[in-house]
Structure 1
Amino acid sequence: MPDVASWGWYVTTPWPGYSIFDYNNLDAIGNGLVIDTSQYVDVILRDANGDGIIYDDDSFDGSRTDSGEAIIGPTMTLIPEEVALYTNSTLTIYGVTYTDISLQVTLFDDGSYSVRIMDSDIPAGHYSDVTYLQLGTWDGVEYSGVALSAVDDPFVCFDASTQIRTRQGDIRVDRLVSGDEVMTLDHGYQKLVWVGHSRLRGTDANAPVVFHDPDTGDEYLSVSQQHRMLVVGPKVHEMCGQHQALIAAKHLVNNDTIRIKPRSRVHFVHILCEAHELVLANGVWSETLYLGPRSLSVLSDSARSDFLRKCPEIFARAFDEAPRTPTARPFLTGRKAKEAGAGQAFELIYESPGKVPRGVTPHGLILL
């Protein structure tokens, strides 16, 4: 995993009391430090050797940054020097204040530093909308680097304007509520047990993937990059032993009929059934939300409590590593998609050949 998209608040002024001769700058001196939330940036974690961690360049604890590894932002390339964790930190977003947040601080070799929310504590919303951030208490541990496994997955959801097939016909996904029955490929009409909304800046990892009619150029579907689409094709059977599989929309991008298109703001909607299902979205088969611990981490405390009350068994399964909730179809990873040729190897599955744009087989749109 050479490059991983991430984010944080980057502070250019030196860490309090910073000294190049001090190997332990990050300590209790940071307790209570207020962070300037206007300094939100998107960054790339460059893991040159693919070992899953960018070690800090701290000879005191025996760690050294590997050659070619760095944290890369819009105008800077930085080498981490120390990493620390501050628990019981304070964060305010959309007027709601949280006081039990864990914040990771990464100190760089020029005295500047970045701050990031630990994934298990991420509240609902987009990080750039945080209005107040204050470090809590240093946990006393000296960490050896930034682990890429801690980087959170982006949202998995539909654009709000998407039409979902229901028992009452096609309805905009942003008008659906718990209890509505949606048509599924495998189990007929199934009730929605939860519907959630996310309003975000539509850039970087949150920029939507847009599908275009190859004849007219019109957009006919917009989903988040990690939203999985149902596909077929000779390579599918070769890769997973089944005729159909699910693959993240971003791995189907061909920069022609399927593109990533940044927007100033996006409104994504999550829909959840009792099981992981396949639903018709603007006439194309794709997934409902597949829950895991990271998916739940984006919910607010009140939403999480509401979800626990309405569907406690599904909530519990999200944290249960074995057995996990079965997936509607096998998941194809990005690595497997690249090996197969991505867009050239897979076909989307449509409701009806009569509704498919020009340049498709009876199975669906050929992704050229």
Structure 2
Amino acid sequence: MTTFNEQFYDIDPFSPPSPGTLLTPQFLEMVDVDNDGVIGPGDTIDGRTITQSWPDDRISVDDDNIAGGEYSITGVTYYFAGGGTLFTPIDGTVLKETYFQSTEQLSPGQSGVPTDRFGPPCFTPGTLIDTADGARAIETLRPGDLVRTADAGLQTLLGLERRTFRARGKCAPVLIREGALGNRRDLRVSQEHRMLITGWRAEMATGSDEVLVAAKHLVNGNSIVIDETETVDYIHLLFDRHQIVFAEGIASESFLPAFAVDRAEAGVNRETLDLFPELLRNSAGFAQTARPVARRREALLLRDAA
């Protein structure tokens, strides 16, 4: 069995709530019971057995619950034995607290979803992270180590998680070749991992001179490429809030749990909260990302301006 930790909304696009309903992310354990690389009937989420899988549902949400700010999320809706549904994105969206607006599209039919459509935001082994003791390989770090951050100086590392994936499709790493973004050496990160882009290009594309951009949106086929291999290990770094850290000399994000503000009250990330109960006392630290996040169209504008 292969276990993943994924983000979900408790919603059924087929029978949606009223417009303006608050949606709060949950971070739950998803298990590929038969190890076939597909999440569908017979597999489990949060210990519940999936009975139906409806990919390509699409919903519209609005962070401010005002007209004109809507955006879409495409995902898969799972139904469970004993009732209940969960919706998780398969388009790279990082869920956050937002407001439901409408169902835009319903799945054309049932099918399982390959695990490579669920992408983790992480670094890979060998990546040098700036710490109080200089640059250290990420796999040598331990809870309690001090890591250099852009906004808060040296911060205590709460924990790390390491998982192995088949490095194909959405789970293949992005290779950022030496110097492509100012990095000292080649850097490999997951496709969803967000890099900090600064300067006039960021401001032109997003209106902010510092913005986080998913690595997959920076792929240009030359200096930044998808690097498919047999397997890849991903490692994420957890602090008491979302931080900007330095890997191979360039800035990118730390792990952002899929709960924030009142999300922690839902007990949605039980594993993380059991290991790090202090996050409950500081859940506001995850209320927002350390920098604005570029949407796909903005990120592509930024990439093309490089």
TM-score (norm 2): 0.60
Provide the rounded CA distance (Å) in 2 between the counterparts of 1:220 and 1:197.
20
Structure 1 SS opposite 2:202: helix
5+ residue gaps in structure 2? Answer: 1-31, 56-74, 86-104
Greater than 6 Å deviation, 4+ residue runs: none
Deviation at 1:90, TM superposition (A): 6.1
1:243 aligns with 2:209: yes
Whether contact under 8 Å (2:124, 2:233) holds in the other structure is: yes
Give CA deviations for 1:204-241 in whole Å, capped at 9, x if unaligned.
Answer: 111000011369xx961000001111112423113333
Equivalent pair of 1:101/1:117 in contact (CA under 8 Å): no
Shift of 1:153: 5.1
Q: CA deviation at 1:182?
A: 0.4
**What is the aligned counterpart of 2:128 among 130, 154, 163?**
163
How many percent of aligned residue pairs carry the same amino acid?
Answer: 27
For 1:172-224, what per-residue CA distance to the aligned partner results, in whole angstroms no more than 9, with x for missing partners? 11221221110111211111122111211111111000011369xx9610000
Which of the residues 156, 173, 178 maps onto 2:138? 173
Q: Which letter maps to 1:146?
A: S
In structure 2, the residue matched to 1:200 is 165
Query: Structure 1 residue 91: deviation in Å?
Result: 4.4
Q: Whole-Å Cα distance in 1 between the matches of residues 171 and 43 of structure 2?
A: 25
C-alpha displacement of 1:103: 4.2
1:37 aligned to 2:3?
no
Structure 2 residue 243 is matched with structure 1 residue 269? no
Change (3 A) 1:103 1:283: farther
In the alignment, the residues of structure 2 paired with residue 267 and residue 36 of structure 1 have an alpha-carbon distance, to the nearest angstrom, of 20
Which SS does the other structure have where 2:119 is aligned?
Answer: coil
Unaligned runs of 5+ in 1: 1-34, 43-84, 93-97, 108-115, 122-134, 319-323, 347-368
Q: How many residues align?
A: 223
Paired amino acid for 2:157: L
Out of 89, 100, 106, the residue aligned to residue 48 of structure 2 is 100
Note the alpha carbon deviations across 1:269-310, whole angstroms, 9 max, x for none: 1112222211110111111112224999xx996455213x24
In the TM superposition, 1:280-295 aligns within 5 A as 280-293=246-259
2:271 equivalent to 1:306: no
Report 1:4-83 matches (<5 A): 37=34, 39-40=36-37
Deviation of the 1:249 alpha carbon: 0.7
Higher relative contact order (CA 8 A, sep 6+): 2
Does structure 2 conserve the Cα–Cα contact (< 8 Å) formed by 1:190 and 1:273?
yes
Provide closer, same or farther for how the CA distance between residues 333 and 214 of structure 1 changes in structure 2, counting only shifts above 3 A: same
Q: CA deviation at 1:40?
A: 3.7
CA contact (8 A) 1:159 1:267 kept: yes
Matches within 5 A, 1:98-137: 99-105=47-53, 136-137=81-82
Give, in whole Å, the separation in 2 of the partners of 1:229 and 1:244.
Answer: 10
Contact conserved, 2:202 with 2:209, CA < 8 A, in 1?
yes
Q: Is this contact kept in 1: 2:33–2:44, CA < 8 A?
A: no
Instruction: Give 3-state SS (helix, strand or coil) of 2:139's partner.
Output: helix
Kept in 1: contact 2:213–2:294 (CA 8 A): yes
Change (3 A) 1:189 1:103: farther
Distance 1:178 1:137 in 2: 39
Map of 2:223 onto structure 1: 257
Does 2:201 correspond to 1:224? no
1:17-52 CA distances to partner (integer Å, 9 max, x unpaired)?
A: xxxxxxxxxxxxxxxxxx99365459xxxxxxxxxx
Q: Are the counterparts in 2 of residues 212 and 221 from structure 1 also a CA contact under 8 Å?
A: yes
Task: For residue 331 of structure 1, give the secondary structure of its aligned residue in structure 2.
Answer: coil
Rounded to whole Å, the distance in 2 between the matches of 1:193 and 1:214 is: 30
In structure 1, distance between residues paired with 2:135 and 2:33: 45
Pair 196,172 (structure 1): closer, same or farther in 2 beyond 3 Å: same
The aligned counterpart of 1:345 is 305
- SS of residue in 1 equivalent to 2:196: strand
Aligned residue for 2:3? none
Q: Aligned pair in 2 of structure 1 residues 117, 250: CA closer, same or farther (>3 Å)?
A: closer
1:337 is paired with a residue whose SS is: helix
